[in-house]
Amino acid sequence: MLNALANVTAASADAVAPLAPTLVDWSRAQFALTAMFHWCFVPLTLGLGVIMAVMETLYVKTGDPKWRRTTRFWQKIFGINFAIGVATGIILEFEFGTNWSNYSWLVGDIFGAPLAIEGILAFFMEATFISIMFFGWDKVGKKAHLASTWLTTAGATFSALWILVANAWMQNPVGWRFNPDTMRTEMTDFWAVALSPFAINKFLHTVTSSWMLGAAVVVGIASWYLLKNREKVFALDSVRVAAAVGFAGLLLTLYTGDKSAYQVAGAQPMKFAAMEGLYDGGTGVEITAVGILNAEKKYDDTQKPMLWDVALPKVLSLLATHSLDGHVPGVSDIVRGGYKDKDGVTTLSVSEKMALGKAVRRALGEYTATSKALREAQKRGDTAAVATATAHLEAQRKTLDAHFKYFGYGFFDSPADAIPHVPLTFYSFRVMVIIGVYYFALFPLLCWLVKTGRFAKMRGLQRLCVCSVPLAYICSQAGWIVAEVGRQPWAIQDILPLGAAVSNLDPTNVKVTFFIFLALFSVLLAAELRILSKQIQAGPEPLSGGLDPCDAGLGGH
């Protein structure tokens, strides 16, 4: 494996070119398919966990059996979703080794740590308490069972934490160094990786936005019951709790989203420019609220970036710098370089970074050859040769230490290689924001309508809530597209491009497994939807004595 990575890192850029585009594209497509399918289940687990834990808290606090009944129903929905989510998550971790072996070799010492913690701590926590949550209703006390529900939810959340720590490190590498003797990156500060502002904010933004998705699903299912004139009390109670949790989640998402924009603008300016479709930046830059991007626009031409748009003056500068007159670079500015970043440092052009990256690759190749010569000289006992080789190693190591942060640029053939897919990033960002604003208006409206007793009679709004469930998933997926496509072409920001991270496989094998996974995931999704449909059709279990609270006139609204 060491020799395989050495071939990737020390060879010329042309050596990586035959892997593109077929192998890289198919490997990306397979990973994206698996990740996006897996992400259908994770946010519902995170959001529904909080909602059902709040419901059970109300049961323990009030002693009202309707809350036990409501909690148990949503726990069944949680369990169905949780099982499929775990299965798909395991496939993702295998793909790091099968499809992205060079990536795994280079950063395994760093990336593996949070994944190991997730397995040891988070999964253990979930596995321990989820059985009590599902099977301990009549075997442990109310408070003990409530604790198990909250701890199961906490376990799922901690699991997301360590995955997002790993992902945040890929977006903004910190707390590491490259060891040329092993051809691997090594963690130098675990806490810098685990507690980086980038990681913490990404975690909070992802988790709180998942509360919105969980709330949207609960509201949609509850509205279906109201449309069918079934389970009125159960449905209205569910809407009341879910809308409140969803609105709280959106408030926190708005706050963390602002921090995320500020962080991305500093650490990943190319992604930030792609999110806005901004090619030529400046000070006091406006943001495009809605618009049509000119998909033919290139970084080095004079075409207008937008065919049509509605813009808000100076808002982009406010997001990027927290100043209305702050400077925001565009795609073309970043490629050309020469502007000052947030720290006042004059930036290099992409061409200059490419030159430094190629110099690092040459130094790495020379370091490998010199290390071999040193070992041979030591075996011969040639003191002069040992001294010469040692001096050369020190000089080469200084070059690597000084410029390894530009290593990934050494694989590019053109500055255009550093630019992500601007249209996909631009439109995904707006889809995410527009749907988020929609729910930001919907959830407080639902809280008020349920409190005043009006929602139960509003059939049109109930239908809208049912139809809106897919929007929450589209919003969530769009967020991940922005985060991951906006980072391209990097597997690790500035350090390792996708073309160097991919395994040296026959593209046909990746194509075949892509369609196998597509068929498998389609079957799994159909099975889950069928199971969920049957559970929803069956409805919550009856109260003791077989009385439905709506029929019995209990807890009316």
Q: What is the DSSP string of 29-92?
A: HHHHHHHHHHTTTHHHHHHHHHHHHHHHHHHHHH--HHHHHHHHHHHHHHHHHHHHHHHHHHHH
Burial of 524 from C-beta contacts in 10 A (0-12 / 13-18 / 19+)? middle
Per-residue burial over 284-301, b = 16 or more CB atoms within 10 Å of its CB, e = otherwise: bbbbbeebebbeebebee
Q: Tokens representing 405?
A: 């942060």
Q: Are residues 215 and 101 in the same domain?
A: yes
Predicted local confidence at residue 196, as pLDDT: 93
Q: Are residues 326 and 405 in the same domain?
A: no
Predicted local confidence at residue 341, as pLDDT: 84
Phi, psi of 229, deg, nearest 5: 55, 40
Q: Are residues 427 and 406 in the same domain?
A: no
Q: Are 454 and 388 in contact (CB under 8 A)?
A: no
Euclidean distance between CA atoms 16 and 170, whole angstroms: 21
Cis peptide before 65 (omega within 30 of 0): no
Q: What is the C-alpha R_g of the chain? A: 27
Q: Are residues 246 and 393 in the same domain?
A: no
Predicted local confidence at residue 22, as pLDDT: 82
* Residue 505: DSSP 8-state: -
Q: Are residues 239 and 304 in the same domain?
A: no
Q: Are residues 192 and 320 in the same domain?
A: no
Q: Are residues 36 and 113 in the same domain?
A: yes
Q: Are residues 184 and 111 in the same domain?
A: yes
Q: Are 502 and 100 in contact (CB under 8 A)?
A: yes
For the chain of 557 residues, list the mean pLDDT of each consecutive stretch of 10.
43 38 86 91 93 96 94 93 80 85 88 83 77 89 93 89 92 92 90 93 95 97 94 95 96 95 94 94 92 91 91 93 93 93 88 94 90 88 87 87 91 94 95 95 96 93 96 95 93 92 89 92 91 92 54 36
In a domain, 108, yes or no: yes
Q: 336, 360, 384: which is the final residue of a domain?
A: 336
In a domain, 496, yes or no: yes
Predicted local confidence at residue 151, as pLDDT: 92
In a domain, 442, yes or no: yes
* Helix %, strand %, coil % of the chain (to 5): 75, 5, 20
In a domain, 293, yes or no: yes
Euclidean distance between CA atoms 550 and 255, whole angstroms: 39
Euclidean distance between CA atoms 47 and 218, whole angstroms: 10
Q: Are residues 376 and 433 in the same domain?
A: no
In a domain, 542, yes or no: no
Q: Are residues 366 and 477 in the same domain?
A: no
Residue with tokens 């687990």: 45
Q: Are residues 108 and 210 in the same domain?
A: yes
- The total of structural domains in the chain comes to 3
Task: Print the domain residue range for 285.
Answer: 276-336
Q: Are residues 439 and 460 in the same domain?
A: yes
Q: Are 210 and 216 in contact (CB under 8 A)?
A: no
Half-sphere exposure of 473 (CA within 13 A, CB side): 16
| Amino acid identity at 52 | M
Predicted local confidence at residue 12, as pLDDT: 34
Q: Are 282 and 328 in contact (CB under 8 A)?
A: yes
H or E stretch including 309?
A: strand 306-312
In a domain, 13, yes or no: no
pTM: 0.89
In a domain, 249, yes or no: yes
Task: List residues bridging with 497 in a β-sheet.
Answer: 490
Q: Is the dihedral of CA 265, 270, 273, 274 positive or negative?
A: negative
Q: 411, 432, 456: which is the final residue of a domain?
A: 411
In a domain, 386, yes or no: yes
